[in-house]
Structure 1
């Protein structure tokens, strides 16, 4: 089993960050470019991976009261993950993303996982900034 975790501070209220992160319709704006989430009957979703051109049955749950999103594969149990938003005060937030790979076939390796997490967090921050700039904070 392999686990990877990355965090990033974002200059926005935790509610704003969580709202952006939990909006399934905007996942493509911050998830790794090769992953696409298609909602079925919540919490059921399908994740399409461009590199392999495969669809994976998954589950996705957003817990607004906890500012937490959890996901994972449904049948094969290959991977799971979560995103947690925490307020830091002064209008800033910390976002942590954690991935667990229970099946080596799903594990992209430490460098690829770290790079994907860092890139996703950076893209999420950009989306949050765009949204808060448009709404005036």
Structure 2
């Protein structure tokens, strides 16, 4: 099993960050560019990967009371992950994303995963800023 984890501080209340991250209609706005999630009947979802052209059955759960989103592949159990939002005071939050690859053939490698996680967290922060700025103005 291989695991990866990245964190980023965001200038918004944890509830705002979580609501943006868990917005099922806007997942593509912050997920890696090559992944597209379609939620049929929560928690059931399908993940389409552009690089392979494959659709994979997955599960996606958002637990607002825990400020946590969890996901993973359904049938093959080769991949799982979670996103956790925590308030750090002063109107800021820390967002941590963790990925676990149980099948080494499914792991794209450290550099690719870390780049994708960093990019996703940066895009999520942009979405959060847009939402917070729009709500305030």
1:68 partnered with 2:68:
yes
1:15 partnered with 2:15:
yes
1:49 partnered with 2:49:
yes
Look up the match of 1:38: 38
Determine the C-alpha separation between the residues in 1 that align with 2:78 and 2:59.
Answer: 12
TM-score by length of 2: 0.99
Give 4+ residue runs of structure 1 displaced > 4 Å after superposition.
none
Look up the match of 1:136: 136
Look up the match of 1:105: 105
Superposed CA RMSD in Å reads: 0.8
1:24 partnered with 2:35:
no
How many residues end up aligned between the 2 structures? 137
Q: Greater share of helix residues, 1 or 2?
A: 2
SS in 1 for 2:65: coil
CA offset at residue 92 of structure 1? Answer: 0.1
Look up the match of 1:87: 87
Cα distance per residue 1:12-44 (max 9 Å; x no partner): 000000000001110010000110000111100
CA offset at residue 104 of structure 1? Answer: 1.2
TM-score by length of 1: 0.99
Unmatched segments (≥5 aa) in structure 2? none
Unmatched segments (≥5 aa) in structure 1? none
